[in-house]
């Protein structure tokens, strides 16, 4: 699998990130089929990518309480 170029990606922080900058996750909505996710404290570090359907299922499970975090 080819690496994905994320250099021009627009990132947004999770609405649940603390205001002091700790424990922040950023995601990108720039891609249709996948969702890149990174640690906002390390913006030049690695990003994980998830299939968009899998990410949506994960977020739904967290929101519904099915998957406790």
pLDDT for res 37: 95
What pLDDT is recorded for position 1?
65
Give the residues of the chain that fall short of pLDDT 70.
Answer: 1, 18-23, 68-69
What is the C-alpha separation between 69 and 63, in angstroms, rounded?
10
Residue 10 belongs to a domain: no
- Whether residue 53 is contained in a domain is answered as yes
1 domain-assigned: no
User: Model confidence over 40-50: pLDDT tens digits?
Assistant: 888 888 999 99
Is residue 69 in some structural domain? no
Q: Which domain holds residue 41?
A: 25-64
Residue at 14 is within a domain: no
How many whole angstroms separate alpha carbon 25 and alpha carbon 37? 7
How many domains does the chain fold into? 1
Residue 3 lies in a domain: no
């Amino acid at each position: 699998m080819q690496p994905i170029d994320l250099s021009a990606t627009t990132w947004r922080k999770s609405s649940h990130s603390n205001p002091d900058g700790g424990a922040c996750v950023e995601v990108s909505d720039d891609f249709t089929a996948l969702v890149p996710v990174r640690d906002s404290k390390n913006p030049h570090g690695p990003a994980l990518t998830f299939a968009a359907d899998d990410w949506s299922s994960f977020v739904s499970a967290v929101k519904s309480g099915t998957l406790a975090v």
